[in-house]
Amino acid sequence: MVDSTNVEQSVDDQLAEFSRLLELEDVRFTRWTGEILREPDDDFELASADIRGLYRLRASLFQCRWAVDFPIQAADGEEVATIGVTLVQSFSVAEGNVPGREVIATYMRFHAFELAMPYIREAIQSMGSRLGLGSIVVGLHRDELSPHSATFRIARFPFGLPRRRSKRIANGK
């Protein structure tokens, strides 16, 4: 992989080139939590989601880590529950030019997050059911971030991701 940003190419061209270099290899959850803070009334809704994205780009590996927290509010505006997930996507990277941070951040927000959203949506809906909240509908992600609003923060991994550890089960233990 060559580390060079072609300033003559438009951002769209750099995004297209970067997309051609990537192949999604793995999606995994590293956190899936839910907590009831108080028993909700009949009416409750998802509040503004907090979405934090980090990335790591090395030789032939590109990883995106999404930490998403959905507070759930009662009709009176008080938080009654919270559901959170952290998801890691691993992409293999073919030989080619590596774009700059602006292009990578744009790729993460508009492409990598779109690939992660079905997993996140299913985890939020499943945890809502497990908490006894019933069906929670997480709308489609759009640039306007409707029907729910969200705050995006994207940064580079400071220390990298923890390595995946395999668990061995011996003799049924």
pLDDT at position 42 is 67
Joined tokens for residue 114: 């779109």
Which tens digit of pLDDT belongs to each residue from 35-57?
999 877 667 777 778 888 999 98
- Domain-wise residue ranges, the chain: 11-156
What is the greatest pairwise CA distance in the chain?
61
Residue 20 has pLDDT above 60, yes or no: yes
pTM above 0.85, yes or no: no
pLDDT at position 47 is 74
DSSP E strand boundaries for the chain: 22-36, 44-46, 49-58, 61-74, 79-93, 150-156
Q: Rounded distance, CA 91 to CA 81, Å?
A: 33
Q: Rounded distance, CA 55 to CA 157, Å?
A: 5
Q: Rounded distance, CA 53 to CA 67, Å?
A: 6
Which CATH code for domain 11-156? 3.10.420.10
Q: Which residues contact 142 (CB under 8 A, 6 or more apart)?
A: none
